[in-house]
Amino acid sequence: MTTASNISTGSPPSPEITLCLCDNDWIIKIAVFALIKDALKVLGVQQAHVKVLGTCRAVTCSSGKVEKYGRSMVQEVEALLKQAAVLADAEIDTELFSRAFTPNKITDGEAQLFSAHIDGKYLVATDDKRAMVELARRPDLADIHQRNAGRVVCMEQIVVAVVDQKGFDYVDKKIRPVCWADDKILQAWAGGKGQESKETMKVMRGHIDELRQATNGLLYPL
């Protein structure tokens, strides 16, 4: 890990994203919905430019996750990990990490992502809303919040972006059979097969708007 004294504070990214740092839970959800390739496409990130946590394979491919989500999820993750790199200790600022890490609020994984020191324009993909809100509400973490402002991508943003790009039916066929895997997705898809796509997307965009407000500018303008 590096230290705060030899890095810049960072700034919100421009549209030319070159790297995406991914949290384990975000990867699991996107993999369950079979949207990993689609997610990277809408973000404009190549698979070889994805960085994962050191615990990614152990967590996502554990027996418990396989039992809960099935082998197809693991296959999606394994395909991603063939080209993805691991976020190195040298790419994490130790001082920022020690302040960000808050048991039961900002986990070790999220603290690593929020404290990353990466050259170029990058995104942070996470599904941990509690960590995002905690980062936004604490004055003592204002500098860490600022360096991540406009970088964070949540799972709901990906789903909506893929719908916008490929149509509701394309995403619906992937998500509906496994919508139970996420509470927000289940709520949006809870109307049954006959529910209009317009209403489903209204619920999804509502979740994104709520998170955007609660996290005070953290979300990437996808």
**Distance between CA atoms of residues 188 and 201, nearest Å:** 7
pLDDT exceeds 60 at position 187: yes
With residue 124 as reference, give the H or E element that holds it.
strand 122-125
pLDDT value at position 193? 54
- Domain boundaries along the sequence of the chain: 15-214
Task: Write out pLDDT tens, residues 161-170.
Answer: 999 999 999 9
**Distance between CA atoms of residues 12 and 20, nearest Å:** 14
Task: Write out pLDDT tens, residues 111-141.
Answer: 999 999 988 889 999 999 999 999 999 999 9
Task: Write out pLDDT tens, residues 16-67.
Answer: 777 999 999 999 999 999 999 999 999 999 999 999 999 999 999 999 999 9
With residue 73 as reference, give the H or E element that holds it.
helix 71-81
Mean pLDDT of the chain: 90
Burial of 27 (0-12, 13-18, 19+ CB in 10 A): buried
**Distance between CA atoms of residues 145 and 140, nearest Å:** 10
Q: What is the mean pLDDT of residues 134-162?
A: 96
Q: Over pLDDT 90: what percentage of the chain? A: 84
Please say whether the beta carbons of 17 and 122 come within 8 A.
Answer: yes
Other Cβ atoms within 10 Å of 206 Cβ, number: 14
Going by pLDDT thresholds of 50, 70 and 90, the confidence category of residue 1 is low
User: What is the residue type of 20?
Assistant: C
**Distance between CA atoms of residues 71 and 12, nearest Å:** 37
pLDDT value at position 130? 96
